[in-house]
Structure 1
Amino acid sequence: MRIAFTGSHRVGKTTLAEEIVDSLPNYEFRNEPYLQLEEQGYLFSEIPSLDDYIEQFNFSVEQIQHSEGNIIFDRCPLDLLAYIDVISKTKNISALYEEMRSAISQLDLLIFVPIEKVDIIICPESDLPNLRHKVNDILEDWIGDFSTEILEVTGTLENRKKQVLDKIINLERL
């Protein structure tokens, strides 16, 4: 089963994804594209630029397209495209949107980690809280556009973990 986490930054995606992988030893974990590209020598701007997000987006799409087996992706093209949309309102993203939809359709489960109404993770000014909220708003708008199974998780880490594991168990039974 191919599972991806989506959400803006500082919502707990990575922490949750790592907890899930620890509970599912037969799954491979794929770090977010930023970290993988950085390991490969890609030099990001101090504050990621449009080109940086496009590079991550393309990497994420390709990674999903060439994957098989039990994999958990920490980030996916959906949230990367939301960042592209927010930071470059002049860029026409329709072709990228279709590419993203095609990649998302290859997933078995998309887990959306939104900013909670009472924000449970503090986002300091240095972590661009306005960008975080704008991306979250876009994700909330787009999340219903897919035929892929979607789970929106809320609550504490333990509550989120239980929601995800219960969903995976139910999907594996089908």
Structure 2
Amino acid sequence: MRIAIFGAHNVGKTTLAEELLESLPGYTLETEPYYQLELSGYEFSEHLNAEDFVEQFNYSGHLISKSGNDVIFDRFVLDILAYLHVIDPNRNIQSFFEKTQTLIAEIDLFVFVPIEEPDLMQNYQTNLPKLRSKVNDLLYDWISDFGIEVIEVRGTVLNRRNQVLDKIL
């Protein structure tokens, strides 16, 4: 099974992915494209930059296309595209939408980690809270627009993990 975990920054996606990895023997984890690109030598801009998100989108698409079964993706092209659209709203993203639709068909289970009230990640000094909120709201819209069936997880890390495991086991 191919599982894509998505949401805005600092909502607990990586923590959930790592918890699922411990609970699902034989699965591998594809870490965020940002970190994989950084490790490969890609130099990100010091400031939010649309081209950096395009690079992450393309890399994420490549990861999905080349992966086998039993993999957990920490981020999906959908949330990367949401960031691109929020920081560059005038950019024509039609081709990205089409690619996203194709990649959606490659994923067996979508896990959306929304911002919760109260915010469970409030102990982390969340940077760019307005960006985070706009991306979260856009993802809600796009889940419907793309017709994606998602598990929207809430609560503690263990509660979130159990919500996903209940769906797949």
Distance 2:13 2:19 in 1: 10
Q: Percent identity?
A: 52
Structure 1 residue 96 corresponds to structure 2 residue 115: no
CA RMSD of aligned residues (A): 1.3
- Which residue pairs with 1:128 in the alignment? 128
How far apart are residue 147 of structure 1 and its match? Answer: 5.1
AA in 2 matched with 1:30: E
Counterpart of 1:11? 11
Matches within 5 A, 1:12-27: 12-27=12-27
AA aligned to 1:124 is Q
Contact 2:48–2:87 under 8 Å retained in 1? no
CA deviation after TM superposition for structure 1 residue 146, in Å: 3.9
Asked if the contact 1:107–1:148 (Cα under 8 Å) also holds between the matched residues in 2, the reply is no
8 Å Cα contact 1:105-1:146 kept in structure 2: no
Equivalent position amino acid for 2:115 in 1: I
TM-score computed with the length of structure 2 as normaliser: 0.95
- Work out the CA distance in 2 between the residues paired with 1:100 and 1:133: 21
* Structure 1 moving runs of 4+ over 3 Å: 145-149
Map 1:4-153; keep pairs closer than 5 Å: 4-122=4-122, 124=125, 127-146=127-146, 148-153=148-153
- Normalising by structure 1, report the TM-score: 0.92
Does the CA-based 8 Å contact 1:5-1:74 persist in structure 2?
yes
The answer on 1:161 being equivalent to 2:157 is no
Q: Deviations over 1:35-74 (max 9, x none)?
A: 0000100001123310100000000111111222110000
Instruction: String of CA shifts for 1:144-167, please: whole Å, max 9, x gaps.
Output: 234554111011111101101111
Shift of 1:124: 2.9
- Unmatched runs of 5 consecutive residues or more in structure 2: none
1:172 counterpart residue number: none
**Where does structure 1 lack aligned partners over 5 or more consecutive residues?**
170-174
Q: Deviations over 1:111-166 (max 9, x none)?
A: 000001321112536x1111000000000111123455411101111110110111
CA distance in 2, matches of 1:138, 1:80: 11
